[in-house]
Structure 1
């Protein structure tokens, strides 16, 4: 039984999120450019533009996802008086953990997208957004963010571990060095990408055009979806799929690897202390 608390999982999530976004930020810059239909940045500085706000956003997002996942696990076990969540329980808990992080992720990504477009320093971008659009505008695209984050979190927090456990029982995969880990990580990452890509494209397009008076087609999730499909085709919903797929597959390994390594280290240390006393 894990002795790591929700608060400790929250701290682990903060570290894992910063590590992941620091490595994978260029894929975010490429993906956003493709989704918005603007030129892809061709310099390292351009690819890393928005890193500060994105890293600052990922810290609380993954913190919330890790911490809420652990808290919801504990709550589920108490409510149903069980030590095992089962497949549906683990996926449901992960969906809830992901959805809860949208309240932080949505405004942070709004600022990042605006900064990538304008090239302004972060403090200047904050001032511009507040003076031009008001304090609530960064929540534009919230419903799409909830949909994306819930499905994404279920991919790396539930589907990847479930696949790995299943593959460990398959001799063909289990006998390969790191086979279950690699196959489950790639499969879960690709599945999460395909399932969340339309919501991510819709969110990006809504946030890229914050002035709803000038761009009423991007007023809501429904209107944005209809506009994209009617004018550009369903395929546009999957714009930026490959750079995002690469990022998510890597993120599954980085986030789960960081979490598992630290959790195991903490539990081993506690067992050692308990045995010594």
Structure 2
């Protein structure tokens, strides 16, 4: 349902980054819907799994509290690694948005292209590493700090602490992850390399044409979605995970 309601903002963000015209035509706004749904479901699922696996590797399976740097490092690592799964799917979505081709046609074309499947993956790793580091790393660290130090104020409950922590992790995630996302979108939208050939040339082209602020083009379309996602993902990870995997949360 979230993809159904948010897909238009995804298109507007990608279009702004690439300098494409604004549109309200639903036939354009919902291009790549199924690829995007698979991407978001697979990406988040992979990040939660990898975050747990990396944490387990850090502790060697021995029950102990991780340091704040370990929590954030594990989150960043899970975001970077998840991009191997997510980047090809996002490439498929962006290509559908730009060219208006169908899911199967786009997939076959990209698979035949071979190495083109990895186009924009480094940018994706940067984006997801930062974003995942915020919602699975910085977010719980800040929330726990608020709960411990402000029990009678903003830390009086998990949800109140979570809300205030969102206003710390959210801006960091949105602002810092957007430039790599812009590079990724431009490279994936132009797989032929007619305008955006590589990361350095993409940076030079964007800055020359629209100034340094172009690196954050379309960011307002991401901000609200990311704030909601960071809050909800942290709540799910805190409240739902112990119910599904009670053995992993035994003292």
Q: TM-score, normalised by structure 1?
A: 0.81
Match for residue 126 of structure 1?
107
Aligned counterpart, 1:195: 176
- 2:114 maps to 135
Gap runs ≥5 in structure 1: 1-18
Q: Is residue 28 of structure 1 aligned with residue 6 of structure 2?
A: no
**SS of aligned partner of 1:174:** coil
Matched-pair contact (CA < 8 Å) for 2:111–2:117: no
The residue number in structure 1 matching 2:240 is: 262
Structure 2: gaps of 5 or more residues: none
- Is residue 70 of structure 1 aligned with residue 80 of structure 2? no
Q: Distance in 1 between matches of 2:54 and 2:111?
A: 35
Tell which deviates more after alignment, 180-189 or 62-71: 180-189
- CA distance, structure 1, for counterparts of residue 54 and residue 157 of structure 2: 34
Q: Deviation of residue 70 (structure 1)?
A: 0.2
Equivalent residue number for residue 146 of structure 1: 125
**1:53 aligned to 27, 30, 35, which one?**
35
Secondary structure at 1:136 match in 2: helix
Residue 227 (structure 2) pairs with residue 223 (structure 1): no
- Among 218, 230, 240, the residue aligned to 1:240: 218
Determine if contact 2:87/2:124 at 8 Å carries over to the other structure: yes
Tell me how far apart the structure 2 counterparts of residues 99 and 174 of structure 1 sit (CA, whole Å): 31
Matches of 2:78 and 2:54, distance apart in 1: 8
Q: Is the contact made by 1:202 and 1:225 (CA closer than 8 Å) also made in structure 2?
A: yes
Matched, 1:94 2:75: yes
Moved more, 237-246 or 101-110: 101-110
| Structure 1 position 257, deviation (Å) | 2.8
Stretch of structure 1 that moved more, 94-103 or 81-90 = 81-90
Tell me the CA shift for residue 130 of structure 1. Answer: 4.5
Per the TM alignment, residue 245 of structure 1 is displaced from its structure 2 partner at its CA by 1.1
Q: In the aligned structure 2, how far is the partner of 1:260 from the partner of 1:29?
A: 31
Q: CA RMSD in A?
A: 2.4
User: Is the partner of 2:154 in helix, strand or coil?
Assistant: helix
- Give the corresponding residue for 2:136: 157
